[in-house]
Structure 1
């Protein structure tokens, strides 16, 4: 049992307080996931030809300026055990530099706009440690985890990112993830944990790489992924939600003129401004819901 939240800003005012609202939503999911928590936030795009990496070290005294210098980049910010480094190179090259210089560091995310932060512990403690309430951004996803299929570690927490500016959070369980993992490795998709959610993220990366749209990639999940799940997926342009055809895992969507929100339970949406006037509904089984920034620009 885990908790998912998502928030998509449709107004500048909401973007300025995205972190505050995300933290409030995440706290409402503590009962569903007390083991660990994480967020993916889309904000502050870097210029073309540059990449933004979120890096993790278990050493809280890590010299992040030295790390950034060793890969030819600049330190953008630090939050607890994580750092954002901007590198004047395409993402694949930037990631290769990290592995060559400091292979023990974990690359949490790579792209132009995504930042991922996650750690073990209660969601409220995680949010305080990472000072998430000062984040601004266009959209974000969050997850609280109750581990059932893998260890409680920072690396095993959600969100998972296997492609540029792509992330996935998941409530449920996949039964064919080991078979799928082997086939995706043959396609060049790499995995860093045993978590089935990372496999689902890798599947989406593969489908997108093969030319599918996000909606098509998620529709492919209905044929290729066995199990029960609610997925929330973030991209540079927006986010999407999908429940499996049986839909035994809970999910709620809501929308106002200022935001779109999703959560495992409605009380996580009730803390948002204007929630009393929001249109709220339960997403249909096997139906992909997508919100794109171009549609609200």
Structure 2
């Protein structure tokens, strides 16, 4: 049992409110997953630059590792620190080298990469995790969050959701996949890299693989209905929007609300109950085996 939340804002003037709403939604889902939490926020980006969200067990390791990275790249990184995580921007042309440096540094862990996406996750109560990272002060067009009750892998920072296996893409999941080990082996042969034993990371990697083959996000999610065994609800964040998919059985709870201002997702309605205007929203349960997607241009 885990909790998922997602919020997609339709109007630019609402973007300063994203973090406030998302943090409240995340805290409301604490009872569904008290061991760890995480979220991805899609905020502003800089032309020609890519953001790396990096974490470390100790603040000194994070600062030293990023200092070494900046010296190697000969770039002023100006890290933005958020507790155990930091966000740095590097030129697109130096992204591959930056990734190699971070992934090869035993002090550091690469959490996510995106032109607009920043990704944070940590062990602890969801409300406390949101407070530690300052989620309520973050602005953006959309975001997704997850509260975890671990069932298939260890309670660690890396094991928390969301998982990201490609630029600006992340995935949160409520449920369990039965064939994730076989899929992990197949995807590894195709060049998809994994850092945990979590089945959700395999689902994210599967979508990455399909997208690399030229599929649209909708097509990738539809293909997952055939290739992924188990029961699941996915909420996927992308650079321009987010998507929702439930498996054909749909035994995991899910509810959505849509107004002229936003689209919101929650594992339970109480995650949406505090949103402005939700009393006038179109509230519905997403259908099984059906892709729902929204984008802003």
Q: The TM-score by the shorter chain falls in which range?
A: over 0.9
Q: Given the alignment of the two structures, is residue 94 of structure 1 paired with residue 98 of structure 2, yes or no? A: yes
> Contact 1:68/1:85 (CA < 8 Å) preserved in 2?
no
Q: Given the alignment of the two structures, is residue 270 of structure 1 paired with residue 269 of structure 2, yes or no? A: no
Give runs of ≥4 in structure 1 deviating > 2 Å.
70-73, 89-94, 97-100
Map of 1:154 onto structure 2 = 157
> Contact 1:39/1:158 (CA < 8 Å) preserved in 2?
yes
| Cα deviations by residue, 1:4-37 (Å, 9 ceiling, x for unpaired) | 0000011223211110000010011000000000
1:106 paired residue among 109, 130, 133? 109
Per the TM alignment, residue 68 of structure 1 is displaced from its structure 2 partner at its CA by 4.6
Map of 2:142 onto structure 1 = 139
Q: Given the alignment of the two structures, is residue 205 of structure 1 paired with residue 204 of structure 2, yes or no? A: no
Distance 1:237 1:265, change over 3 A: same
| Cα deviations by residue, 1:139-192 (Å, 9 ceiling, x for unpaired) | 000000000001100000000000110000000000000000000001000000
Gaps of 5+ in 2: none
Gaps of 5+ in 1: none
Map of 1:43 onto structure 2 = 43
| Cα deviations by residue, 1:53-109 (Å, 9 ceiling, x for unpaired) | 000101133316514523424124110100001111343332123234x24411111
Map of 1:8 onto structure 2 = 8
Question: Normalising by the residue count of structure 1, what TM-score does the alignment of the two structures yield?
Answer: 0.95
Distance 1:71 1:42, change over 3 A: farther
Map of 2:67 onto structure 1 = 66
Map of 1:222 onto structure 2 = 225
Question: Normalising by the residue count of structure 2, what TM-score does the alignment of the two structures yield?
Answer: 0.95
Q: Could you say what the CA RMSD is over the residues aligned between the two structures, in angstroms?
A: 1.3
> Contact 1:14/1:259 (CA < 8 Å) preserved in 2?
no
